[in-house]
Copies of this chain bind each other. A is one copy, B any other.
């Protein structure tokens, strides 16, 4: 175990590499297509075949990567959520000075942005389907917990919030709940005007509450 012969290692690095890369690229195309399909057509309109067609991949190749419909869509939501959160973490390098209200405003905007795009729409369809379907429920519950914990960690890090201070943890949690609620309010109509005003006001409230200034 762990011992790879030089010959085999060399083959992996040369001959198999392009195939592995192609396989990885196919997988990524399927994951991205699955999220946009779920966001646009809901759970009932989202099957492995529909996603394979959208991704320009054969149904067989899709089933090689994802054995079941549940595998494909939970992996897709998790993948896109990770990508969004990594993009959000990258924002940290390009923010106004620590302690400025402008910094808090941008962070709150970005956190709310996690919940107002196609990813949230896709996740919402998956959650609601999971509330009726036993075989989805357990997996989506675990997925939601992982993604939620990660969002919380990202929020705490960006806000440089000190969770050892009583109430700070719950203030950040409530902010993420508000972000989820804003995502829901954006489901049927474009709520961006109202959302912008709520974000501006609550960024100020959060800034004062966390005594970030």
Which A residues have a C-beta under 8 Å from some C-beta of B? 41-42, 44-45, 121, 124-125, 127-132, 137, 140-141, 144, 148, 167, 170-171, 173-174, 176-185, 187-189, 194, 197-198, 200-202, 204-205, 208-209
Contact = CB atoms under 8 A, between A and B. Distances in A.
Interface of A is mostly: helix
A177 B209 CA distance: 18
B188 A173 contact: no
Given A188-B144, A205-B209, A132 B176 contact: no
B42 A131 contact: yes
Copies in the complex: 2
Given A184-B181, A187-B127, A205 B171 contact: yes
Nearest to A42: B132
A128 B201 contact: no
B173 A194 contact: yes
